């Protein structure tokens, strides 16, 4: 592993604490040069949290630099990426981890808080991806990790803003993988579960101990490696690693005269039959699936 990551440059956003810190340390142990991104201090300089992570990496014999930047600002992200490229000549790995919470039930949520969460998580990830994209294409190599969440996959009360942003990561991943594949870029999603300041108090003490953030980071190192998969959602928590599949049932063709709510109700069980589930690589594949099912039904009725 050390040889594989030697000379690779990795950027981890929101790496001053929690999961981001653990990702940065793990990538440094694997041999990568690591950019520890975090919010700037009050005077715009490198914050103490990011500086501390850099010192940890250096104490272990690794190479790292702290880079303050608000990921929701494309100008700030572009400037950061330019500094990194000037320093090390390349950018191989981008781990989009930066995030915030503004939890509240939807009826009570201030839409400014909705906007802010989406801006940091989803727009912030898109900003970082866009700022490294052309360089990765020219290099013919890139590894991008986006961070989704169980909230984005399954929903959580009081997190409509966070869930919407995290679900957006899945569509971003799927499209970037299609566009980046021919350039040697692989894009994947991490769905982590860990005890951090963002989840403090949610788990019993014994469970919280198992959900240490460092138990998630091996998945990031894998997705940052040459052996990385493509367009894959890896769930990680407590040392358990899963793959989340987005699939669609074969469905049921309803002729024009049989599309009332009552007809849907009668066909819903067959429509929902998971045994017919299939995976689509692109949106066009879904369209082809619709047409095939409709043609098959028409042919059987003829």
3-state helix, strand, coil in the chain (%, to 5): 50, 15, 35
Instruction: List the end-to-end C-alpha distance of the chain, in Å, as a whole number.
Output: 60
User: Among the options 141, 154, 162, 183, which is catalytic?
Assistant: 162
Question: Of 59, 54, 62, 45, whose CA–CA distance to 20 is shortest?
Answer: 54
Strand partners, 34: 10, 64
Distance CA 48, CA 37 (A): 12
Distances (CA, A) of 219 to 19, 98, 222, 263: 12, 17, 5, 45
Residue 253: active-site member: no
Distance CA 33, CA 8 (A): 6
Distance CA 284, CA 231 (A): 16
Question: In this structure, how many other beta carbons lie within 10 angstroms of the beta carbon of residue 131?
Answer: 25
What residues are labeled active site? 162
């Amino acid at each position: 592993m050390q040889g594989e990551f030697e000379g690779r440059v990795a950027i981890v956003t929101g790496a001053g604490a929690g999961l981001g810190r653990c990702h940065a340390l793990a990538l440094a142990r694997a041999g990568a040069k690591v950019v520890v991104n975090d919010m700037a201090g009050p005077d715009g300089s490198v914050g103490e949290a990011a500086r501390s992570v850099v010192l940890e990496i250096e104490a272990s014999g690794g190479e790292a630099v702290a880079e303050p930047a608000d990921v929701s600002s494309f100008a700030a992200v572009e400037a950061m990426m330019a500094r990194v490229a000037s320093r090390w000549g390349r950018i191989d790995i981008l781990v989009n981890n930066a995030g915030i919470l503004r939890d509240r039930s939807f009826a009570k949520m201030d839409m400014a808080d909705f906007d802010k969460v989406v801006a940091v998580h989803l727009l912030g990830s898109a900003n970082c991806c866009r700022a490294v994209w052309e360089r990765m294409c020219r290099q013919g190599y890139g590894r991008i990790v986006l961070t989704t969440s169980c909230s984005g996959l399954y929903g959580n009360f009081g997190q409509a803003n966070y869930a919407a942003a995290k679900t957006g990561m899945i569509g971003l991943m799927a499209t970037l993988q299609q566009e980046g594949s021919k350039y040697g870029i692989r894009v994947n999603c991490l769905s982590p579960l860990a005890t951090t300041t963002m989840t403090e108090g949610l788990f019993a003490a014994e469970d919280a101990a198992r959900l240490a953030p460092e138990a998630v980071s091996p998945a990031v190192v894998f997705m940052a490696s040459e052996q990385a998969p493509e367009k894959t959602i890896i769930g990680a928590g407590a040392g358990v690693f899963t793959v989340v599949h987005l699939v669609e049932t074969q469905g049921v063709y309803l002729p024009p005269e049989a599309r009332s709510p009552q007809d849907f109700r009668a066909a819903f069980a067959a429509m929902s039959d998971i045994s017919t589930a299939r995976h689509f690589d692109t949106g066009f594949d879904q369209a082809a699936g619709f047409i095939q099912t409709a043609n098959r039904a028409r042919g059987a009725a003829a």
